[in-house]
Structures are given as structure tokens and as C-alpha cells.
Structure 1
Amino acid sequence: MSVFSDWEKMVSSLRAMWMFKDGVIIFCTPFLLLPLPLLIRTTEAGCAYVIALMAVYWCTEVLPLAVTALLPAVLFPLFGIMESKQVCMQYLKDTNMLFVGGLMVAVAVETWNLHKRIALRVLLVVGVRPALLMLGFMGVTAFLSMWISNTATTAMMVPIVQAVLEQLNSPRKGENTLHTPQSQENGTTTEEKLENSSTPQNTLKIQDNHIPLEKPASKDKLDSPDKLVPQDNSLTDGKPVVVSMVLKEGTEAEEQVGEEEEEKERMKMCKGLTLCVCYAASIGGTATLTGTGPNLVLTGQMSQLFPQNGDVINFASWFAFAFPTMLLMLTLAWLWLQLVFIGFNLKRTWGCGAVQSEKERAAYDLIREEHRRLGPMSYGELSVLGLFILLVVLWFTRSPGFIDGWATHVFNAKAEFVTDATVAVFVAVLLASFAFMLPVATPPNAIVFSYGYLKVSDMAKTGIVMNIIGILCITLAINSW
């Protein structure tokens, strides 16, 4: 009996181990094969180690076959077998491999909703006041666009903006009718009273400036404005006249004007918040090499035109030059959009000394509820976040010479590859990302334009100033840092 129970325990243990076989093979195989390159310290031994490791992974399929096929791009440079550029050329160009790596990070972030968690957390911190809300959206969009493509960032952020705008633009309670309580009686409006009058053909709408009204003599006639009688009865042939609409025309006209003004403010708010997303995506993408396509094109062209450039343009050197420019450009863009679409009103837009309105509280509650639905961070989110931080740290530490500023003597003291022509190339690349005027200029502009809040004239009006601001910021950057 004891033998049978021991057998069951062993079988259950084997089943448990079989459930985790993939993880065991992935982590144990490199250590089991490690004596080969350690005992035989040659390039051939290192290459044999990589081949054996890939063979185990391919046979067991613990990793997707395509992922295993990419291991030489990492392990060959690590063991000194081949340079990274030579290995990557067997797959794609080195620049294209960098772009593919950035896309992989973007897919992982989007799959686990890490971008949504970051965006909602920032919006909860900054609040829903118009100016601060715009600042929050622009900051989050620019940060995500630094590591993810501009198009993907815009496509991920615009639905969040749309949800917040729906809460801010939803009608207030009791605002779904234009009729005042005095004009309603047993569910019948003033217009229905006119239609149901005993003499509908002779009912006359009287305006204050057409027929003078005399005051009734009796006191009870003063109790209701419906009992006012016109001096000249010849126009009505002695039949009753409804005047309740007349006395409310002024109030309803004022309400209509107020609603029109409020609708204009709502549309301006919608335009400002949608434009800020596409502008921030274009601006944020300039801060890193992987942020947008033109930056990667620059690195590829530099490698072809100047093969021995000493790695002048790398992640760290580009970040040291472009990140301050991005911050300056983003701040000026926020101030300009605030001036055009919101206005500078500290109490209304910043919330200084003001109480949140019902709509703002509803929008804040929506953001908080969406953040609550995400729940605690899962293992996948933590893994993606950890790998993302590791990736950024490796990018920065690969060549940390930017601490003393980007210059020729820092990156390559033997050859002067940084010249006025290099500066001109930097300017051209950055300006390629500052296309703000038309919907067809960039994919983020087209995505925002498709939501229907904006006209071409709106984008042109704000975009031309944004282009000028971009030129001034880049001019300042190339002459300062």
C-alpha cells in the first residue's frame, strides 16, 4: 500500500514538473552548456555553444521558432564571434533591426495595457481642469511617443481623450428642455396650449413693443401675467389672447444665447484636447532615436556616408541633444494651444480657488473608475515594465559620453565627423517631425482629424504658429547645446 502511495506522489510530482518544463528548459539549458565556452576559450567554442543552445530550443519548441532564430543577433556579439552590424545584416539592416526592436516593445506595452495605466495615473494626479488636463494628455503622449511610434501612441491615446470629452460635454441634469416650469401645466407645454386653444385660428402672439398693455384694475388680475388684457381689442375680435410666451421670450432668448456660447466653448475644448495629442506625439517622437522614422533614417545614412564615424549618433548622444528641445517645444505648444482654445483664466482653467463642477467630477470619476478596473499590476505588466526599464538603461549606458555634452572630442577624438553639415542634417531630421499644419502631414494628424472635431482651417491656423515655434526652438538648440 505504501509503495502504491509513493508511486502516486512521484507521478504527481512529475506532472507538476511537466507543467513547468518550458521554464526549466529555458533557464537550465544555458547553464548546462556553459562549461563548453568556459573550458575552451576560443571563438569556435562560443559559436558551438550558441548553436547547441539554439538546437535544444528548436527541438523542444520552448520558445517560438522565430524568437530562437534571433538569438545570434544577441549572442554572437556577446561572445565576440561577429559584430552586431554584421549579424543584423543577415536579417535586416542594423537600423531596421533597431526599428523592429522598438515595435516589439510597443506591442508588449499595448498588449498588457501598460500605456493605459500610465495615462490614467497621470490624469488622476493632474486633475481635470482644462489647462491641467491638456498638460496631462500632452505629457503622457509625448512620453509614450519617445519609445513607441507616433501613430500607435496617437491611436492609443485618442480613445481616452474621447471618453473624457464625452463626460465633460454631457448635458447637465434638468437641462434637457427649454421650457420653464411655469410654462408647463399637467405635462402640456405652451406650444400645446396654443394648439389646443378653443380658437386656434384667432390666437395672436403679442410682443411687448407692438401692443401696449394696460394694468387690470382688480388685485386678483395682478396675480397672473396670463390675465393681462390689450388696450386695443379690435385686433382680436374679443377673443382670448395667449401671452405667456411673450413674457418668457426674453428669458428663453438669453438661455439660447448662453447655450450657444457654451456649445462654442465645448467645441473649442474638443479641438484643443484632440490637437494636443497629435502635436505631443510628433514632438515626443523627436527625443529618442526609436521615437520616429526620420531619426532612424538619419542613423542609417550616417553609417553609409561615414562608415568610420566613431558612433557619433547613438541613443545617448541623440537624447542629450533632442530631449531638451522636446521639452521646450512641448511647453510652448501647450501654452499656444491653451491660448487659442482655452484662454488664460486661472480660476476656470487651473482651478485656483474654484470648486469642481458636476461635469468635471463626473470626468474625474470616469478616469478613476477606468483605473480601478485595471486592478493591480499583473506579472505580465511588471515583466514588460522591468524589461522596458532595462532596455532604456542599456541604451543610455552603451556610450555615456553625452554627460560632458555632444561634441567631436567626446565621441571620436581622432576624426572630426561632427561638422556644420552634421548640424544641418540634425536640423533637417527634426524639422521632418514638426509637421503640424495639415491632416495629411503626419499619421497622428490624420487620426485626430478623423474624429470630426477639427476642420482643415483649425489645423492650419494653429499649425503655422507651431511650425514657427519649432524652427525657433531648433535654431536655439543647435546654437546652444
Structure 2
Amino acid sequence: LQGQRLYTSVRLTGLLVGLFLLIMPFIFPAPEGLSDAGWKVMGVTGLMAVWWVTGPVNITVTALVPLVAFPFLGVADFKAAAAPYSHPTVYLFFGGFLIARALQRWNLHKRIALIIASSVGTRPDMLILGFMIAVAFLSMWVSNTATAVMMLPVAASVISYISGPDGDANPANNRIGTAMMLGIAYAASIGGIGTLVGTPPNAFMAAFLSAEPYNYEISFVGWMALAVPLVIIMLPLCWFILTHIMFRECLSPELRKSGAEGRKAVREALKELGPMKTAEWRVGGVFLFVALAWMFRPLLSSLPGLETINDSSIGVLGGLLMFLMPAGTLKDGLKVRLLSWEDAEKLPWGVLILFGGGLSMAALISQTGASDWIGSGLSSFETMPLLLMTLCITGTILLLTELTSNVTTTAALLPVIAALGTSAGIDPILLAVPAALAASCAFMLPVATPPNAVVFASGYITIPQMIKAGVLVNLVAIGVITLAAYFYLPVFF
């Protein structure tokens, strides 16, 4: 486009600062206690962190830097630098993407959401709760963004029924609509933490901790046992804040009748989908098979001949079944499969590359001893009580994620946080898990998460409204995650 600048002042500054950090090891000697290789890795880490924050290039492009920088700097050959890009967790997410894409192609995700949303009471606050439960459940399996986009028009229809023909003509002043839209965005983020494939920081953290020197295996069902209770706690608290504190209009007795009309709108949307199609039944069958296989994978692994299966192989199997299984005959007589490669081309491939880049960076930080050096530099925090340390990490990560990508924040800071734990004699997993959870809980700004941006674009929300509600939900998230990490997490690890 004519007149479009390639680099804003912030991006140009970030580009130059990142390049300076990259060459800094060739200008200044390595700090005491850090090897030359570790010093070079810190230069690459600095470049990637600055570029991720300032965005001179797309974050996925930045994730390719280790493939070039590490071999050219002599700290690792290409094979070693590239190995993390094919980490099993990358394929776990890939399989999850394929399954989610099949759900979306045949609208099964919408049917599930509408069934849940239509099963609650007729009061406006209960309708909002129904939408939040539906969105949270789907966000455990389907992209948070796709879930929010799908539910937006249905929610708008419900809001119009509740407001009635004499309702406020300005959507920004429709406070019930504001509560509904914020509930959708917040539920998408909260629900995502429930599974390893629900949001990228979860999977990145599991992959990071599975490598040397930590060697933790966090299974799919193990993570659900830890995280789903947090979803169950945080979701009603978030709903209470929205409907009983911020937007008490949702409790108005006068609106109960219009709430019944809103429920009718949900059921009409469900009716428009028609009866369950053959393709939906088959997609649902594969989805159920994969979910059960993930949950009972430890039992499956104990069977003769199945000792080597893992969550990643189960996820990819689910994707392959979608490619192989026929969808039945469509109305126009066409016969297609549940998933085609044209559908797969629409997957967020950049997220998979982003995983690889972050894991490659983290692996070299550990292998060159840079993590030990980082930990020694944070020795002043070693005397801090674990509860206070967890609180500080959770709050810091959550606030950073309000302005930066959650997965880039996790990739950049998880090695530092793990090093801090090791230096302080604390099991790194006790700090890494709350950090990953906090990275997905940003509720204050439209730029914080894609669901926030999606609902903000609806016109029902102003930035001050999102900030006021988001501050309270952020405080709840910080408190729940901190207490869970301190009291509940040690039960699992």
C-alpha cells in the first residue's frame, strides 16, 4: 500500500536494539560465571525477546531465528537447533488443531455450545452463565478466538431479545450486552487453561519441563486433573463479578420475561442447525474417542504393544481419522471426508513454529549453562517465601500478557523462572505452572487476547468498562492461581 511505513519508530527501535543485543557478545566479554557459548545464547535470547515485544517482524518470523543464529554463532549445529521444532508437544497441538478444525467444519462446536447455553434458566444472569459455560468448555478443545467469533452473533441476537424493541439504541450503553460480551471473552480465556491443547502456554510449559534437566512428564489427563478444578472455581467467580458487582442490571426482575425471549433465540439458532448430520455424529465419535484415549492413556500404555504411545500420537491419530473417514453424502450428492487438506491449510501453522523457536531457545539456555547464570543473578530472591514468590511471578506474568502475546511471554520468561526456582532450591515446576496459567489470564485490554479484541469489536464494550471489570477478574485469577500453586500443585508433583 502506498504510504505505508515498514517500520514505526517503536518497531525500528526494537529492530536495532535486538541486533545490538545479538552482536553484544562480540563486543563485550562474557560476564563472570557465563561461558562464551552461553553469552552468545543470551544475545540471541535478547534479540528474540525484544523483537517479540516490539514486533519489527511477525512473531513467527522471530521464532525462526534460532535455526540461523545458533549454527552461525557456533553454539549448536542445525540439527540440534531444529530438533525442538519437532518436539512431541508440537504434534500434540497439531493433532488438536486438526480435530478442532473438523469440529468447526461441520458446526458441531456450535451445536454443543447452543445446547449448553439453552439448558440454563431464563434470567439474564443465568443466560450469561450458560454462554460462559458453553464457551469455556469449547475453549478447552477449540481455538479461543474461533469460539468467541462463533458465539458473538448468537449472543447479539439474545441481547436484542432481552433489550426489546424499546431497548437502548446505543449498544455501548446496553450494560447487559456488555456483561454478556465480556463473559464470552473471559470464559474463552479461562476455559483454555483446562487442557494442554486449550491454549499455547500450557503446551509450551509441558514441553519445556519435559526436556533436560527437568524431565517432567505432564500427561493430558494429569494436566486436566490440575487445571479443570481451577476453571470450575474461576468461571463462577468471573460470572459473579460481571452480573452481581459490575452489571447488576442482569438481576433486574423486569428483565426475566425478556430473558425467556433470549433463551428462545438460542433455541431458534439451534433449530436452524437442523437434526444431527452423519458428519457431525462421526466427528463427535472421533472427538470422544480421542478425549477418552487421552484420559486413559496411562492404562493404554500398560497394555502389551502399546507401551510407546503418548498423548501426541493419540492426537495425530485423531487427525488422521478425520482425513480418512467419509462424511456421508451431502445434499448435493457430493461425497467428502470429514477433513480435507484444504481445511488443514487453514490451521495456525505459525503457532507451531512459535513453539519450536521458543523451545529451541530454552534448550540452548539450559545446555550452555546460561540458566544457571541467570539463577545466580536472581539470588536476591532466594530468601523470598514460596507463596510470595509465586504471587509475584503470577502477577508479573499476568500484567505482561496484557500487552504481549501469551506464548511469547511464556517462551521468553519460563527459562528465567525455572532458573530462579533451581537457584532458590525450589522445584521449578512449582513456579513454571502458575506462570503458564497466568499467561492465559489477561482480561483488562482489547489487545491482551484475541477473544477480548473480538468482543470489543462488537460495539457493546468500552475500554473503561473492560478495564474496570478486568481488574477485578485479574485479581481473582492471581489469587486463585497463586493459592492453587502453593497448596494444590504439590499434590501432583
What TM-score results when the alignment is normalised by the length of structure 1? 0.55
Q: 1:342 to 1:91 in 2, by over 3 A?
A: closer
Aligned equivalent of 1:478 = 485
Q: Does residue 379 in structure 1 map to residue 278 in structure 2?
A: yes
Q: CA deviation at 1:118?
A: 1.4
Structure 2 unaligned residues grouped into runs of 5+: 1-81, 301-421, 489-493
Q: Where does residue 447 of structure 2 map in the other structure?
A: 440
1:322 corresponds to which letter in structure 2? Answer: A
| 1:137 is the counterpart of 2:131 | yes
Report the 3-state secondary structure (helix = DSSP H, G, I; strand = E; otherwise coil) of the residue aligned with 2:196: coil
1:328 to 216, 220, 233: 233
Aligned partner of residue 305 in structure 1, secondary structure: coil
How far 1:314 sits from its partner (Å)?
Answer: 1.4
Amino acid across the alignment from 2:183: C
After TM superposition, give the deviation of residue 362 of structure 1 in Å. 3.6
Q: C-alpha offsets along residues 218-268 of structure 1, whole Å, 9 cap, x if unaligned?
A: xxxxxxxxxxxxxxxxxxxxxxxxxxxxxxxxxxxxxxxxx87x9799611
CA contact (8 A) 1:165 1:270 kept: yes
Shift of 1:364: 3.1
Q: State which of 460, 478, 491 in structure 2 corresponds to 1:453.
A: 460
1:398 is matched by which residue type in structure 2?
R
CA contact (8 A) 1:271 1:341 kept: no
The 2-side partners of 1:95 and 1:439 are apart by 29
Report the Cα distance in structure 2 between the residues aligned to 1:473 and 1:91, rounded to whole angstroms: 33
Q: 1:299 to 1:171 in 2, by over 3 A?
A: same
Name the amino acid aligned to 1:469.
Answer: V
Whose radius of gyration is greater, 1 or 2?
1
Secondary structure of the residue that 2:118 maps to in structure 1? helix
The residue correspondences of 1:70-469 to structure 2 (distance < 5 A) are 92-171=86-165, 267-306=174-213, 308-309=215-216, 311=217, 313-343=218-248, 348=253, 356-357=256-257, 359-399=258-298, 420-469=427-476
Q: Which amino acid aligns with 2:439?
A: A
Aligned length: 285
Verify the 8 A CA contact 2:124 2:259 in the aligned structure 1.
no
Structure 2 residue identity aligned to 1:452: G
Cα offset for 1:119?
A: 1.8
Offset at 1:447?
0.8
Cα-to-partner distance string for 1:4-33 (whole Å, 9 max, x where unaligned): xxxxxxxxxxxxxxxxxxxxxxxxxxxxxx
Q: Which residue of 2 aligns with 1:45?
A: none
C-alpha deviation, 1:167, in angstroms: 2.4
The 1-side partners of 2:443 and 2:266 are apart by 29
RMSD: 3.0
Deviations 1:101-130 (A, max 9, x none): 111111111111111211222222214321
Offset from partner CA, 1:67-116 (integer Å, 9 cap, x none): xxxxxxxxxxxxxxxxxxxxx96993322111111111111111111112
Quick one: structure 1 residues 341 and 268, their matched pair in 2 at CA, closer, same or farther if it must change by over 3 Å?
farther
In 2: Cα distance, 1:270 partner to 1:434 partner: 22
How far 1:345 sits from its partner (Å)? 7.6
Structure-2 change in CA distance of 1:151 and 1:400 (3 Å): farther
Corresponding letter in the other structure for 2:233: L
Task: Name the CA distance, whole Å, in 2 between partners of 1:150 and 1:159.
Answer: 16
Query: Matches of 1:152 and 1:264 in 2, distance apart?
Result: 23
Q: Which runs of 4+ in 1 moved over 4 A?
A: 88-91, 262-266, 344-347
Quote the offset at 1:365 in angstroms.
3.0
Distance 1:341 1:266, change over 3 A: farther
Work out the CA distance in 2 between the residues paired with 1:342 and 1:424. 35
Percent identity over the alignment is: 39
Task: Name the residue aligned to 2:375.
Answer: none
The SS at the match of 2:442 is coil
| SS of equivalent residue, structure 1 residue 439 | coil
Preserved contact between residue 333 and residue 466 of structure 1 (Cα < 8 Å): yes
Deviations 1:279-299 (A, max 9, x none): 000000001100001011112
Distance in structure 2 (CA, Å) of the matches to 1:470 and 1:315 = 22
| Residue pair 1:141, 1:154 contacting (<8 A) in 2 also | yes
Q: Tell me, what secondary structure is at the counterpart of 1:426?
A: helix
C-alpha spacing 1:120/1:315, structure 2 compared with 1 (3 Å): same
Q: Does the residue aligned with 2:119 lie in a helix, a strand or coil?
A: helix
Q: Distance in 1 between matches of 2:138 and 2:116?
A: 12
1:303-325, Cα deviation, whole Å (9 max, x unpaired):
3333643x2x1112111111111
Give CA deviations for 1:335-367 in whole Å, capped at 9, x if unaligned: 001123442886728x8xxxx53x444433332
Aligned partners of 2:124 and 2:162 also within 8 Å? no
1:461 to partner: Cα distance: 0.6
Pair 1:264–1:340, CA change in 2 (3 A)? farther
Counterpart code for 1:421: P
Provide the rounded CA distance (Å) in 1 between the counterparts of 2:151 and 2:204.
26
What letter is aligned with 1:108?
A: A
Residues in 2 aligned to 1:301 and 1:115: alpha-carbon distance in whole angstroms:
30
> Which whole-Å CA distance do the structure 2 matches of 1:124 and 1:268 have between them?
21
Give me the whole-angstrom Cα distance separating, in 2, the residues matched to 1:360 and 1:90: 51
